[in-house]
């Protein structure tokens, strides 16, 4: 059975469409229809089909070679420098211009990198557009459409945000145009092709009304070598500033007034690296100016160059006039500068523009790191105490220590010889035993470091005035204050708790610190109170309260025990005397009285000795505790002053800065090694 003549051709068309149309977003070939026609198998078709099968696996684990995370091809000799610059971007991103660093990385990804040059007009870009047109125009051909577009759009403001000129033919207007941050103008110029260069035309704002920027406002070199272009991001006209890094810059100005403004702008610019200053050149458009400058300042006559270009385009016979006007206009010097700025014309292991860009980036990064370290050291020094303040505080602390020890000795000595203390003589304990607490409270309150306590408040104020927080060190947690949460409480923690009850418990319970312990293989939670720092001014009052409570409790208990023992011994001796009197022959009153007298004397002697030991223990305890608290306060004050006088830098910032310095130094070594 014969097939219709149109069926075979229709199937061929369907097979052709199925084989060559694919989804560009997922790089998988479309298989919407089954193949009904099988073409003859050839080696090329097998290769194509195998590649298609590998590109459209069902697992989806393979990555396309055009993916964002694909490894960029870098020449072998550039790889160490490329990796070191990536490390610089990772470790020192805050100290480098990331857009310029990305341009340097792109320059190392090819043996023949594209050189980008910025031609910036001062305040306006009309003169800059005119100069670029003259540099790229072909004198032997008629005026191109790109020239008309450049002049027209520059005059009506379509290129007010800037324009990027690249080599190539203008794209087809019927096809959708790619989205770019700034307009791109494709120019089929031999200058761009031969030098492998692209030109960014934009403008830079100069000083107004001749205001002096020197000393008042500093311009960075990024204003020339990484100009910011405003890109509209919304229909309302909202713009986003995008940096456009370049290898070199040509500042174009018009007239002597523009030249003075440009000179003022360049004088106020802070060029950290020498390569940045050498990458910025100045050209001025002056009419009928005979002396043409060389080096950093070039003088051209754009009007005369346009006249010469128009003359040769009218007729080839006017080539001589074109040559004279072209040479007299100074455009050959500008063309030579453009050629020297190209990486295609440079010799050496690394293109000169890429080398200058990397060197300037590393120099700027190291300079910024040094400035950051200097500012950090200056900030730490500003926060630290001055020598005069430290000397005054140390002298005050020394005087405080001396006066505190003198007050401790004299105050306790006067207290032990006072009338109140004599009320607690050993023989008065029989009727004064209940007054021990009141008398001890009065003695310790009035005799134990009252003036020293006021001096601590005064010194704390002086420390606060000097910027030092007068806080005591964290108290150590006593051994017996650990609270171990029971199993029942752990079980209750898992039960739901109402919100108000939980908030009340949080507000009333003291702050605790949970510590996980596992002594027997089971998890337990140990709740430990968090010690809070205490002001130095409350050290003496808190210590006095503790000593007072301890002294009252100990001395009152001791006095009661002494009186009870004395009365007990006296009573026992009296009973023994009565038994002796009754058991011996009548008339032995002398023996019985002797026993009673000896017992009473022994009881009183022991009472005197025990009370003397108790009072001496109290005296030594108060004196030793006073010395301890004075030494602790003095030591803490000296420690605070010493810490405030010492410049302490944050370890995290210091380590981060060291890593950044190491990354920059490594990149510099790789750049120097590549140049050898």
457: which strand partners? none
| Separation of alpha carbons 382 and 365, rounded Å | 25
Q: What is the pLDDT of residues 299-312, one digit of tens each?
A: 898 889 989 888 88
- Pick the closest to residue 127 from 284, 327, 318, 347 (CA basis): 284
| Separation of alpha carbons 557 and 560, rounded Å | 5
pLDDT at 341: 86
Instruction: Say whether both 268 and 394 belong to one domain.
Output: no
Give the chain's radius of gyration (CA, Å).
Answer: 48
Q: According to the per-residue pLDDT averaged within each range, which of 152-161, 176-185, 315-324, 505-514 is highest? A: 315-324
pLDDT at 660: 93
* Both tokens assigned to 287: 């009419």
Q: Is residue 20 part of a domain?
A: no
pLDDT at 5: 47
Instruction: Say whether both 111 and 245 belong to one domain.
Output: yes
Instruction: Say whether both 366 and 403 belong to one domain.
Output: no
More confident residue, 301 or 51: 301
User: Which of the four pLDDT bands, split at 50, 70 and 90, describes residue 236?
Assistant: low
Which phi-psi region, left, alpha or beta, contains residue 295 (left: φ > 0; alpha: ψ -120 to 50)? left
Poorest-pLDDT segment among 84-93, 345-354, 588-597, 662-671: 588-597
pLDDT at 418: 82
* Both tokens assigned to 45: 């078709």
Instruction: Say whether both 267 and 394 belong to one domain.
Output: no
Instruction: Say whether both 346 and 399 belong to one domain.
Output: no
Poorest-pLDDT segment among 258-267, 512-521, 661-670: 512-521
Residue 210 has pLDDT above 60, yes or no: no
Q: Are strands 239-243 and 248-254 parallel, antiparallel or unpaired?
A: unpaired
184: which strand partners? 164
pLDDT, average across residues 74-100: 92
* Residue 586 vs residues 71, 117, 577, 589: alpha-carbon distances, Å: 127, 139, 13, 8
Q: Is residue 304 part of a domain?
A: yes
Instruction: Say whether both 261 and 398 belong to one domain.
Output: no
More confident residue, 156 or 148: 148
- Pick the closest to residue 91 from 666, 660, 661 (CA basis): 660
| Residue-by-residue DSSP string for 26-60 | TTEE--SS-----PPP-HHHHHHHHHHHHHT-SS-
Q: Is residue 230 part of a domain?
A: yes
pLDDT at 184: 87
In this structure, are residues 275 and 262 in contact, taking their beta carbons and an 8 Å threshold? Answer: no
| Separation of alpha carbons 534 and 549, rounded Å | 20
Instruction: Say whether both 324 and 366 belong to one domain.
Output: yes
pLDDT at 361: 94
Instruction: Say whether both 331 and 417 belong to one domain.
Output: no
Q: According to the per-residue pLDDT averaged within each range, which of 34-38, 179-183, 330-334 is highest? A: 330-334
- Pick the closest to residue 46 from 38, 37, 56 (CA basis): 38
Q: Is 419 helix (H, G, I), strand (E, B) or coil?
A: helix
pLDDT at 233: 59
| Separation of alpha carbons 200 and 180, rounded Å | 13
- Pick the closest to residue 122 from 222, 201, 198 (CA basis): 201
Poorest-pLDDT segment among 1-5, 202-206, 251-255, 261-265: 1-5
Q: Is residue 7 part of a domain?
A: no
Residue-range definition of the domain harbouring residue 117: 76-204+219-285+296-370
Residue 16 has pLDDT above 60, yes or no: no
- Three-state SS annotation for 484-503: ECCHHHHHHHCCCCCHHHHH
User: Residue 58 CB: number of other CB atoms within 10 A?
Assistant: 6
Q: Where are the alpha helices (DSSP H) in 279-318?
A: 302-314
* Domains contained in the chain, number: 2
Poorest-pLDDT segment among 417-421, 517-521, 540-544: 517-521
pLDDT, average across residues 527-539: 68
300: which strand partners? 285
Q: Is residue 339 part of a domain?
A: yes
Instruction: Say whether both 592 and 623 belong to one domain.
Output: yes
Q: What is the pLDDT of residues 646-669, one digit of tens each?
A: 767 778 888 999 999 999 999 999
Q: Is 574 helix (H, G, I), strand (E, B) or coil?
A: helix
Contact residues for 285 (Cβ-Cβ < 8 A; gap 6+): 127, 130, 131, 252, 253, 254, 255, 300, 301, 302
| Separation of alpha carbons 50 and 11, rounded Å | 22
pLDDT at 101: 94
| Separation of alpha carbons 204 and 675, rounded Å | 35
Instruction: Say whether both 349 and 314 belong to one domain.
Output: yes
Instruction: Say whether both 271 and 402 belong to one domain.
Output: no
Q: Maximum CA pair distance of the chain?
A: 173
Q: Is residue 505 part of a domain?
A: no
pLDDT at 363: 94
| Residue-by-residue DSSP string for 165-186 | EEESPPPPTTSPPPP-SS-EEE
pLDDT at 504: 40
Given the structure tokens 């810059």, which residue do they identify?
249
In this structure, are residues 97 and 226 in contact, taking their beta carbons and an 8 Å threshold? Answer: yes
pLDDT, average across residues 557-576: 81
pLDDT at 116: 93
Q: Are strands 297-300 and 280-285 parallel, antiparallel or unpaired?
A: parallel
Q: Are strands 269-270 and 219-220 parallel, antiparallel or unpaired?
A: parallel
Q: What is the pLDDT of residues 19-44, one digit of tens each?
A: 444 444 343 343 344 333 334 444 33
| Averaged pLDDT of the chain | 76
Residue 208 has pLDDT above 60, yes or no: yes
Instruction: Say whether both 359 and 461 belong to one domain.
Output: no
Taking the C-alpha atoms of 660, 662, 667 and 668 in order, what is their torsion angle to the nearest 10 degrees? 110
Q: Is 483 helix (H, G, I), strand (E, B) or coil?
A: strand
Q: How far from the centroid of its chain's Cα atoms is residue 47's Cα?
A: 54
Residue 222 has pLDDT above 50, yes or no: yes
Q: Is residue 86 part of a domain?
A: yes
* Residue 430 vs residues 17, 554, 557, 565, 570: alpha-carbon distances, Å: 122, 17, 14, 12, 13
| Separation of alpha carbons 297 and 68, rounded Å | 43
pLDDT at 240: 74
Q: Is residue 416 part of a domain?
A: yes
* Both tokens assigned to 248: 């070199």
Strand ranges, E, within 123-279: 163-167, 184-187, 197-204, 219-220, 228-232, 239-243, 248-254, 269-270
198: which strand partners? 116
- Please state, for a pLDDT cut of 70, what percent of the chain lies above it: 72
- Pick the closest to residue 328 from 303, 345, 311 (CA basis): 303
Q: How many residues does the chain have?
A: 676
pLDDT at 90: 93
């Amino acid at each position: 059975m014969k097939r219709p003549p149109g069926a075979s051709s229709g199937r061929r068309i369907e097979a052709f469409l199925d084989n060559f149309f694919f989804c560009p977003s997922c790089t998988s070939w479309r298989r919407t229809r089954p193949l009904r026609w099988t073409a003859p198998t050839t080696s090329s078709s097998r290769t194509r089909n195998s590649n298609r099968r590998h590109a459209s696996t069902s697992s989806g684990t393979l990555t396309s070679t055009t993916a964002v995370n694909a490894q960029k091809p870098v020449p072998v000799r550039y790889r160490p420098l490329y990796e070191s610059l990536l490390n610089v971007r990772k470790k020192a991103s805050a100290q480098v211009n990331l857009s310029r660093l990305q341009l340097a990385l792109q320059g190392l990804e090819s043996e023949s990198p594209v050189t980008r040059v910025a031609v910036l007009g001062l305040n306006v870009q009309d003169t800059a557009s005119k100069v670029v047109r003259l540099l790229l125009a072909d004198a032997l051909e008629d005026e191109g459409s790109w020239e008309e577009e450049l002049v027209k759009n520059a005059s009506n403001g379509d290129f007010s945000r800037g324009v990027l000129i690249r080599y190539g033919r203008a794209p087809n207007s019927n096809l959708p145009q790619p989205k770019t941050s700034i307009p791109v103008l494709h120019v089929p110029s031999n200058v761009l092709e031969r030098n492998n260069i692209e030109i960014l035309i934009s403008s830079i704002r100069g000083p107004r009304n001749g205001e002096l920027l020197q000393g008042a406002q500093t311009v960075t070199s990024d204003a020339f070598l990484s100009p910011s272009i405003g890109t509209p991001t919304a229909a309302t006209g909202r713009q986003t500033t995008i940096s456009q890094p370049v290898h070199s810059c040509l500042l174009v100005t018009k007239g002597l007034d523009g030249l003075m403004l440009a000179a003022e702008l360049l004088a106020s610019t802070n060029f950290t690296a020498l390569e940045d200053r050498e990458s910025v050149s100045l050209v001025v458009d002056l009419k009928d100016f005979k002396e043409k400058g060389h080096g950093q300042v070039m003088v051209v006559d754009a009007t005369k160059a346009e006249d010469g270009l128009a003359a040769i385009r009218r007729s080839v016979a006017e080539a001589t006039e074109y040559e004279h006007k072209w040479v007299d206009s100074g455009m050959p010097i500008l063309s030579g500068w453009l050629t020297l700025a190209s990486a295609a014309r440079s010799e050496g292991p690394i293109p000169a523009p890429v080398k200058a860009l990397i060197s300037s980036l590393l120099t700027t990064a190291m300079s910024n790191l040094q400035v950051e370290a200097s500012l950090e050291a200056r900030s730490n020094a500003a926060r630290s105490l001055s020598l005069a303040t430290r000397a005054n505080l140390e002298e005050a602390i020394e005087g405080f220590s001396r006066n505190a020890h003198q007050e401790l000795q004299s105050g306790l000595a006067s207290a032990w010889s006072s009338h109140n203390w004599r009320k607690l003589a050993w023989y008065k304990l029989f009727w004064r035993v209940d007054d021990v607490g009141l008398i001890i409270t009065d003695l310790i309150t009035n005799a134990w470091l009252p003036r020293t306590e006021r001096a601590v408040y005064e010194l704390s104020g002086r420390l606060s005035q000097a910027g030092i927080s007068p806080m005591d060190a964290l108290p150590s947690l006593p051994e017996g204050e650990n609270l171990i949460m029971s199993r029942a409480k752990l079980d209750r923690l898992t039960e739901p708790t109402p919100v108000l009850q939980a908030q009340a418990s949080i507000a009333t319970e003291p702050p605790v610190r949970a510590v996980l312990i596992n002594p027997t293989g089971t998890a337990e939670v140990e709740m430990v109170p968090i010690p809070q720092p205490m002001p130095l001014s409350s050290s003496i009052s808190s210590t006095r309260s503790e000593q007072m409570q301890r002294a009252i409790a100990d001395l009152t208990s001791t006095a009661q025990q002494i009186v009870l023992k004395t009365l007990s011994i006296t009573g026992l001796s009296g009973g023994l005397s009565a038994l002796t009197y009754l058991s011996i022959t009548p008339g032995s009153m002398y023996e019985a009285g002797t026993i009673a007298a000896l017992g009473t004397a022994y009881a009183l002697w022991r009472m005197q000795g025990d009370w003397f030991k108790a009072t001496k223990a109290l005296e030594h305890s108060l004196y030793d505790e006073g010395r301890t608290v004075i030494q602790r306060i003095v030591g803490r004050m000296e420690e605070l002053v010493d810490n405030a006088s010492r410049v302490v830098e944050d370890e995290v910032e210091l380590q981060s800065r060291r890593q950044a310095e190491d990354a920059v130094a490594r990149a510099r070594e790789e750049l120097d090694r590549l140049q050898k």
